[in-house]
Homo-oligomer: A and B are copies of this chain.
Amino acid sequence: MTAVGTQYSSNRRDQLIEAAAACFDRDGFDGASIRRIAAEVGMQTASIYYHFEGKDDLLVAVHERGLRSIIEATSRAIEGIEPGWDRVQAACTAHLHTLLGEEPIFKAIMAPLPSTLGVREQIVEMREAYEQIFRDLIDELDLPDGTDRRHLRLILLGAMNWSFTWFRGDRSDIEAFAGSVVTDLRAPLDTGR
**Which B-chain residue is minimally distant from A146 (CB atoms)?**
B183
Query: Number of A residues whose C-beta is below 8 Å from B?
Result: 40
Q: Is A83 an interface residue (CB 8 A)?
A: no
**Which B-chain residue is minimally distant from A147 (CB atoms)?**
B184
Q: Is A80 an interface residue (CB 8 A)?
A: no
Determine whether the beta carbon of A31 is less than 8 Å from that of B148.
Answer: no
**Residues on the B chain within 8 Å of A187, using CB:** 187-189
Give the interface of A toward B (CB within 8 A): 26-28, 30-31, 111-112, 114-116, 147-148, 151-152, 154-166, 176-177, 180-181, 183-190, 193
Which 8 pairs, one residue from A and one from B, show the smallest C-beta to C-beta distance? A187-B188, A158-B162, A188-B188, A151-B180, A30-B30, A155-B159, A158-B159, A159-B159
